[in-house]
């Protein structure tokens, strides 16, 4: 595992995928485990935390119960780093709801943005897939 602490904004799709996965060797599961063991510190703001809770609470779409949602929120609040958004200028986003993840990642020097939807973000070195984050963890 990585020797230095890694800071990362985790896109909601990565958390959902990790929680749904039955494969502990999947990239999203490994990333989530790194959050649980403190190797990765989640960087977030209130908008991101609200999105996690709102998406995980979609009972018609996901099998998560209230305790699952509370556990994720508690993990983020207790172990994460809450920051303010930086402003992204001259960047184009297919979905404006994704801008907050990018801007929060920009606000913490050396932070990554881990997403399963890489095409939703400008291609920058700090925007990585879960598989790329696993490679970073193993450096």
How would residue 82 be classed by pLDDT, with cut points 50, 70 and 90? very high
Q: Percent of the chain having pLDDT more than 90?
A: 89
| Residue pair 32/43 in contact by the 8 Å Cβ criterion | no
Instruction: Using alpha carbons only, give the angle 14, 84, 70 rounded to the nearest 5 degrees.
Output: 45
Query: What span, in angstroms and rounded, lies between the C-alpha atoms of 119 and 38?
Result: 28
Report how far residue 65's alpha carbon sits from residue 51's, in angstroms, rounded to the nearest whole number: 16
Q: Which domains are seen in the chain, by residue range?
A: 6-137 (3.40.50.1010)
Question: Does residue 2 have a pLDDT over 70?
Answer: no
The pLDDT, as a whole number, for residue 77 is 98
pTM confidence score: 0.94
| pLDDT tens-place string over residues 12-53 | 999 999 999 999 999 999 999 999 999 999 999 999 999 999
| The pLDDT of residue 3 is above 90 | no
pLDDT value for 89? 83
Tens-digit pLDDT profile for residues 89-103: 888 898 889 999 999
């Amino acid at each position: 595992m990585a020797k230095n602490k890694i800071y990362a904004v985790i896109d909601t799709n990565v958390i959902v995928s990790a929680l749904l996965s039955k494969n502990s060797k999947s990239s999203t599961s490994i990333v989530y485990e790194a959050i649980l063991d403190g190797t990765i510190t989640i960087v977030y703001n209130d908008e991101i935390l609200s999105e996690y809770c709102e998406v995980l609470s979609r009972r018609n779409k996901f099998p998560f119960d209230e305790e699952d949602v509370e556990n994720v929120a508690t993990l983020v609040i207790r172990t994460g780093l809450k920051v303010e958004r930086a402003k992204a200028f001259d960047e184009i986003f297919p979905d404006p709801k994704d801008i907050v993840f990018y801007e929060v990642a920009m606000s913490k020097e050396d932070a990554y943005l881990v997403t399963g939807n890489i095409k939703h973000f400008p291609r920058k070195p700090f925007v990585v897939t879960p598989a790329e984050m696993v490679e970073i963890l193993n450096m």
